[in-house]
């Protein structure tokens, strides 16, 4: 996975990685809200927000007090951790496959773009995290160092050969994820630019998983 590091004096959201990273393309605004358990039908831009991560009204220019921040200033996309609800000790950590990241670096802005495979290409090449679940399915919770504003999930059958089977977007909650054997998953997380005054970073990241 290649990285490019730039330093800028103006805040701007970097464009998507490379061909094959289509979920990052075409985002221009907020999509209509979707039920936490429903398919992301009608989405044209970005996925709906997760509650609790909205920027305070009027915060655009001034830096917040340290106590107002939700966590550390992340200089790259965080690890995505899945924890088996049946056994809190059973946790799988997944690093980002691709991400576009912008962060405060002193008086300047740092920016990183890391490009990798698509989920299906990663599975075909064997470069994907794998998880075995009992009885064909299990429920997992997820966490990151700083909670994202958006969680969007895409799911394929392992034998689908690139045909998207299902997509869901979540807001107003951090759901339990039902992971099924024989599926390939893409988890796309977004930390919104409008929350920069609070987080001091923003960006998107994709994480892949094959369930056996």
55 or 107: which carries more pLDDT confidence? 107
CA distance 212 to 14: 35
Q: Which helix (H) or strand (E) holds 115?
A: strand 108-115
pLDDT of residue 114: 96
pLDDT class for 39, splitting at 50, 70, 90?
Answer: very low
Average pLDDT over residues 80-87: 91
Residue 187 has pLDDT above 80, yes or no: yes
Residue 28 three-state SS: coil
- The domains of the chain are located at 2-59+77-211
């Amino acid at each position: 996975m290649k990285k490019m590091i730039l330093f800028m004096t103006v805040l701007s959201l970097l464009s998507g990685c490379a061909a094959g990273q289509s979920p990052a393309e075409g985002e221009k605004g907020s999509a209509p809200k979707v039920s936490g358990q429903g398919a992301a039908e009608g989405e044209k831009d970005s996925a709906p927000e997760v509650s609790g991560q909205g920027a305070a009204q009027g915060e655009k220019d001034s830096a917040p007090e340290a106590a107002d921040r939700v966590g550390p200033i992340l200089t790259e996309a965080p690890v995505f951790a899945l924890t088996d609800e049946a056994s809190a000790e059973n946790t799988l950590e997944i690093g980002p496959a691709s991400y576009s990241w912008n962060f405060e670096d002193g008086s300047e802005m740092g920016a990183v773009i890391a490009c990798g495979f698509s989920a299906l290409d990663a599975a075909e090449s064997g470069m994907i995290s794998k998880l075995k679940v009992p009885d064909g399915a299990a429920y997992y919770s997820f966490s990151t160092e700083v909670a994202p504003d958006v969680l969007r999930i895409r799911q394929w059958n392992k034998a689908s050969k690139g045909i998207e089977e299902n997509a869901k977007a979540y807001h107003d909650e951090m759901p339990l994820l039902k992971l099924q054997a024989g599926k390939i998953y893409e988890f796309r997380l977004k930390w919104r630019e409008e929350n920069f005054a609070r987080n001091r970073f923003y960006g998107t990241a994709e994480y892949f998983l094959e369930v056996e």
